[in-house]
A and B are shown apart, each in its own frame.
Chain A
Amino acid sequence: MSARPLPQLTGLSAEFYGFCKRHELRFQRCAACATWRHVPRERCAACGAAEFRWEPSSGRGRVYTWIVANRSMHPAFASDPPQVPVVVEMDEGVRLVTQVVDCPPEELAIGLPVEVVYDDVTADVTLPKFRRRA
C-alpha cells in the first residue's frame, strides 16, 4: 500500500487547508456579490470579481450523494473496509467531497444532517470530515 494521498499545500488549496489545520472550516465568499464558492477559485464565477474573503462556515450541512468504493482503484486505499466518499451540501450552499466518520454506508441517506469534525492526518494536513447531528 503506497503512501496515503494528501492535498498539495500550494496556492488557494494551502489557504483552505491552513484554516482546517486550525480546525476552522472556511469557504471563499465574493467581496462584491457575496456568493459562496468551493472548490477554491481565483475569481467569482457569478460576477467575475477577484476580491474575496475566507468566511467561516456554519459547519453544518446535509448528505447530497455518496458512493462506496467497494473495489479500490487507488494503491493507497484498501477495498476492505471500503472508502466511502460523500458529497455534503453545506448550509451556505457550497458542496464538498468528504467522508462521514461515524456512519456505516448502509445508514447514509440523502438529506442526512451532518456537522464538521477535523481529521488531523499528519502534522501538516487536516481533512474536514463530518459526523451525524440531530
Chain B
Amino acid sequence: MTAQACIVGIGETRYARDKSWSPTTLALHLDAAVRAIEDAGLAMRDIDGLLPFPGLSSAEEIAANLGISELRFTSTVHLGGASPVASLLHASLAIGAGVAQHVLIPAGWAGYSGVRARQTVSMEVQSLPGGGIARDFYIPYGLTAPPQWYALMARRHMAEFGTTPEQLGAIAVAMRRHAQANPNAVMRGRPMTLADYLASPMIADPYRLLDCCLETDGGAALVVTSEERARDLAKRPVRILGAAVGQPHPADEIVSRKDWFQIGLTSAAPRAFGQAGVRPSDADFAQIYDCFTFEVLQQIEEAGFCKRGEGGAFVAGGRIELGGELPINTHGGLLSEAHVVGMNHVVEAVRQLRGEAGERQVAGAELGVVTGFGDFGDGSIAVLGRA
C-alpha cells in the first residue's frame, strides 16, 4: 500500500444472548456505526465510504438511516467471516487512491434472537459457500453445516500430526479465561476448565460443543481514514501496516484440495507481514478468527506463528493466554465474547494498541495481528501498529 490508512473509530453494541432483547441486524449495524463515528470524533455526514457485510445490510439502508448523502465509494467483500478484516484492505485502497476519505465498516448480526447461525447454512443453499456443490455433493450425504466441514479437517490434522482434544481444549479454555476480564463478553462469569471442555457433548465428532463459537446478538463497526486525516481526530490512530486476503484452491469445495491444510491465510499472511516489514514473532498479540477451535490452531500454523503440525504444542501450556508468549483473542473471541463475524477481533486489536483494554491489556502492545476466516477457508489478515 502506498499510503497507510488508519483505524480511527471503533464501536460496539452490547453483546448478549438475552430473550428479552431482539434487535434487528440492521439496528445492530447502525448502533455500532454511530458509536464508531462518535469515537472518531466525526459527524455522520463525514462518512463517504461504506463497506457493508455480505448479506446482512446494504449500503443503501445504512446511508439512508445515517443521513449519509454523498457516498463516494461502496463495495461488499464476499469472503464470509473473512470479510471484516478483508474490508480493511479495501478501505485502505480506496483511501490511498483518494476515492474516499472516511470509510465506515459495519458488521455483526442478530445471531441469537434472529436466524441462528446453525440454521442459516443448512436452510439456504444459495447462501452456502460453493452453492450447488454443497447441495449436490455434500448435503445428501449428511454433511450440512460449518462445524461438520471443519471437523473433517480437524480429524485429519489429529491423525497426521497427533493433535489432541486437550490441545483443542486449551484454545477454548484460553478464550474463556480472557472473557472473564471483559465486561462485554457473553461468557464473563462462566469460567471453564479443561475438564469441562472434555465433558461437553460431541456435536460433530471430533468437535465438542465447547469447540464451537457462540450464537449471540451484537454489532461492531470501524471507521478508517488516511494517516494525515487521522492526526486531527479524537483518538490515537492505529495504523494498518499490512493487509491481505487469500483463498484456498479450490475455494468453493473442501475435499478435493491437493494440499488438505492450505487455507486463504497460507498465501495471504506472508504478503501482509512482508508489506508491514515484520515477522509473525514480532506480534505482541493476535486476534484469530475462532469459529471453531481447530481453525485457530490451523491459522496459527498457516500464518507462520509456528510450522504446520506444531500448532498443538504451540497452544498448550498457557502460551496463547494473557501473560503468555502470544496472547490470542484477548477479548474472548467468537468462542467466549460473542460471534460478531470477527469484527469484534478488529475492535479488540484497536483497543489493545490504544492501551484501552483495561484489565486484559497486553503490556506495551505495539504490534498486533488480526485474521478473518470464512466460506470453506477464505482468509484475511491485517498487521496493525500503534501510531
Contacts and interface: CB of A to CB of B under 8 A. Distances in A.
A117 interface: no
Interface of A: 4-8, 13, 17, 37-39, 45, 64-75, 77, 83-87, 94-99, 105, 110, 121, 125, 127
Interface of B: 118-119, 121-123, 132-133, 135-145, 147-148, 151-153, 155-156, 159, 201-207, 249-250, 253, 255-256
Contacts, number: 113
B205 to A, nearest CB: 4
Most A Cβ at <10 Å: residue of B121, B136, B151, B155 = B136
B256 A95 contact: yes
A97 B138 contact: yes
Contact of B159 (A73, A110, A121, A127): A110
Contacts of B207: 67
Contacts of B123: 75
Given A67-B148, A67-B155, A70-B203, A87 B137 contact: no
A87 B121 CA distance: 20
14 contacts: A5-B135, A38-B256, A39-B136, A64-B156, A65-B153, A67-B151, A68-B205, A71-B204, A73-B118, A74-B144, A83-B143, A97-B137, A97-B138, A99-B141
A129 to B, nearest CB: 8
A96 B141 CA distance: 10
Contacts of B203: 70-71
Given A74-B122, A84-B142, A39 B204 contact: no
Nearest to B205: A68
A37 B152 CA distance: 20
A65 B152 contact: yes
Pick the 10 closest A-B CB pairs, nearest first. A83-B142, A73-B145, A68-B205, A7-B136, A85-B143, A74-B144, A74-B122, A13-B136, A70-B202, A67-B151
B135 A7 contact: yes
B140 to A, nearest CB: 6
Contacts of A83: 141-143
A67 B206 contact: yes
A68 B138 contact: no
A39 B133 contact: yes
B137 A73 contact: no
Listed residue (B147, B151, B250, B255) with the most chain A CB atoms within 10 angstroms of its CB: B255
A75 B143 CA distance: 12
Contact of B137 (A7, A64, A75, A99): A7
A42 to B, nearest CB: 13
A8 B156 contact: no
